[in-house]
Amino acid sequence: MAQTHAKLVIIGSGPAGYTAAIYAARAMLEPVLISGLQPGGQLTITTDVENYPGFADVIQGPWLMDQMRAQAEHVGTRMVSDYVSKVDLSARPFRLECDSGDVWLADALVIATGAQAKWLGLPSEEAFQGAGVSACATCDGFFFRGKEVVVVGGGNTAVEEALYLANLAAKVTLVHRRDGLRAEKILQDRLFAHPKIAVRWNAAVEEICGGGTPRAVTHVRLKDTTTGAVDELRADGVFIAIGHKPATELFAGQLPTKQGGYLVVEPGTTRTAIPGVFAAGDVADDVYRQAVTAAGLGCMAALEAEKFLAEHASDPAVRAEERKHEQMIGAWE
């Protein structure tokens, strides 16, 4: 087991984590980025990306993440392929324990662990991800202009996705397994009033179907949740909108969360309730959930961490405590 002290540790390796690393490294903070189970985050399972600024042509999500990682390494970030399994935020330096057995002590911490879209769990859903199945209308709706799409869900997210897609697609069908929506009344009113949106009540997606070269969705097989009857609905794209799950289990009981499990930050900042701990990207953002906003929040987190470390480095009591920890580490090693 190795125990290492660092000025700044970043947990997570999506756009927020990599951007925080780039800014922190250029500020000479010598950041350590622990990549986690899915290096690159959700963009590694995204194919065509057309809305990230700076690229006239469509780019690939995994390629974009590779470029961000390479840039972060180039400016001096230390990349660690490990998974943080336990954190102690009760005192500085913060203590992070990894699956490998290694322990990191961090003067400041950026949490960029992201969020995962919730899926239906169908084999066909996984087979067509990136080929007609998506969990983000803002990201992928543009590719379905003038086509017919299905949105699955019944909450605010599903209704908002359907309304957004109605501006692009020829027809939108909202599929919901119950006979009423959970979405806010004002959103429901807009949905029901839209001429391009239809609703299939009491219906569940049993299978997403398609084929060809390249693979593409052609229709969905629906099952009536009351009668059990099965029928098919034409669709060029299927958008799963049943929510997201932020990766915040690691911080349960140590940092406050809001509805849905997202970390609470001070409005207009990435500062959490614990000084020196910052949260950036989808782990705290339950509104936008875009790569470009995650990158922006990563930049903010790094700048705020730099300011925090500069202010606390001038505090003799804090520096004395940190020196004591460093001496203890040296003795353990």
DSSP states of 39-78? TTGGGGG--EE--STT-SS-EEHHHHHHHHHHHHHHTTPE
Query: Rounded to an integer, what distance in angstroms lies between the CA atom of residue 39 and that of residue 34?
Result: 9
Residues 6+ apart with CB under 8 A from 258: 264, 286
Tokens 């869900």 — which residue?
153
Long-range contacts made by residues 259-266, C-beta under 8 angstroms, separation at least 24?
259/286, 260/286, 262/115, 262/286, 263/111
Enumerate the active-site residues: 136, 139-140
Q: What are the E-state strand segments in the chain?
A: 3-11, 32-34, 48-49, 59-60, 78-80, 84-88, 94-98, 103-111, 115-117, 133-134, 148-152, 171-175, 197-200, 203-211, 216-224, 230-234, 237-240, 244-246, 277-279
Assess contact for 119 and 135: CB atoms under 8 A: yes
Assess contact for 64 and 49: CB atoms under 8 A: yes
DSSP states of 23-44? HHHHTT---EEE--SSTTGGGG
Q: What element of type H or E holds 157?
A: helix 156-166
